[in-house]
Homo-oligomer: A and B are copies of this chain.
Amino acid sequence: MELKAGMTLPLRKTTEKLLMGPGPSNADQRVLRAMSEPMIGHLDPDFLGIMNETRELLKYVFQTENELTMAMPGTGSAGMEAAWANTVLPEMKVIICVHGVFGQRMTDVASRYGANVVVVGSPMGRPIDPADLQKAIKDNPDAKVVGIVHAETSTGVLQPLEEISKMVHEAGMFLLVDCVTSLGGVEVPVERLKFDMTYSGTQKCLNCPPGLAPLTVSPRMGEWISKREIPVKNWYLDLNMIMRYWGEDRFYHHTAPINMTYALNEALRIILEEGNEKRWERHWSNARLFWKVLEAMGLKPVVEEKYRLPSLTTYYTPEGVNEASVRKYLMDKYSIEIGGGLGELKGKIHRVGLMGVNSNPAKMALLTVALCDAFNAHGYKCDTGAALEVLSGK
């Protein structure tokens, strides 16, 4: 269709859907309303007040006192980009733990900034073995940073970090952690486990549209970045400049995504009202119940229970069932979105998100009914009544 002056286009197809895939999750209604509040200037004292408050809220959710806490002006991927862009110097040796697509992506991003990347891997669906990392650290004492994904969105693994943090800091290295799918759903112990560089996205457990990347930097790492002799090879995400915009001197850098900042502010208020601990507990108990439902349906989980992420559950789809067709059925009949596999898991698994507002008995009941129907329609028998009974805790 050729567009011509004076034309009016038909309605946008933005019908409400239930987003229970790997992200985005549904935005909270309060967050959507916040986005449509009147725009004010990006250097207006009222907006600077909103930025300050948002930083305090981020510190609450990240559980940190890091002054260098802010929202980067891009999606979660911009958080990963910012983390590596500010950290890497040309030829710097870094160790990256790869246990899924997002760890793999880290190696690509870091390499572009000239890093010499050492990979510590584990099969998709399993966490990194600390012993493997210990060996890499021993073999590469000149490495400066260890990068790892806390919650692997491609597999549903929650990576334990206690032991890893200890060995990274004993070796005097920095710890860089991707928390895109964990922040707001499970504990992200920035301070307790001494994460040096931590980033997330807004569209997962924060229930906010995509467009900002929460990021927090330890004082030790911040000092190191501020003393870099080679400028950061990315003007837009240069923390040395951005920290002056979020800091006291309010130095103009870019125009903050104003209405997205309202949205994030509201999303974080909602978390504060519920409280971190209560929220994590809700995610855990709902996820554990949902795992039992899947068991009752005879579905095989991808991840061993003790490494399973409460905000994102993965299971193998039954032999002979076209997983993409099941997802299409869910969308067409129930307007429910769940995700398929990425990389080597493509066509083999489903990824189901119980994130924020969607970690909820009503949404889980609806999803259970819809999933049972979809599998039954694809020749895999599920007893809907039995599955729902599990959900009701019987």
Question: Most chain-B Cβ atoms within 10 A of its Cβ — which of A57, A272, A274, A278?
Answer: A272
For residue A78, which residues in chain B have a CB less than 8 angstroms away from its CB? 73-74, 236, 254
A333 within 8 A of B: no
Contact A37 B17 (CB under 8 A): no
A49 within 8 A of B: yes
A87 within 8 A of B: no
Please give the residue numbers on chain A whose beta carbons come within 8 Å of chain B beta carbons, in ascending order.
1, 3-9, 12-17, 19, 21, 23-24, 26-27, 32-42, 44, 46, 49-50, 53, 56-57, 59-60, 73-78, 80-81, 85, 105, 108-109, 112-113, 201, 203, 209-211, 231-237, 252-260, 262-263, 265-266, 269, 272-278, 331, 337, 342
Contact A273 B39 (CB under 8 A): no
Which of B8, B35, B112 sits near A273, CB closer than 8 Å? B8
For residue A231, which residues in chain B have a CB less than 8 angstroms away from its CB? 112
Whole-angstrom CA separation of A86 from B78 in the bound complex: 16
Contact A275 B37 (CB under 8 A): no
Whole-angstrom CA separation of A235 from B234 in the bound complex: 11
Contact B53 A41 (CB under 8 A): no
For residue A53, which residues in chain B have a CB less than 8 angstroms away from its CB? 9
Which of B24, B73, B234 sits near A39, CB closer than 8 Å? B24
Please name the residue on chain B nearest to A277 by beta carbon.
B5
Contact B41 A337 (CB under 8 A): yes
Chief secondary structure at chain A's binding surface: loop
Whole-angstrom CA separation of A23 from B37 in the bound complex: 17
Whole-angstrom CA separation of A252 from B256 in the bound complex: 26
Chain B nearest CB from A55 CB (Å) reads 11
Whole-angstrom CA separation of A13 from B130 in the bound complex: 48
Which of B4, B262, B273, B274 sits near A12, CB closer than 8 Å? B262
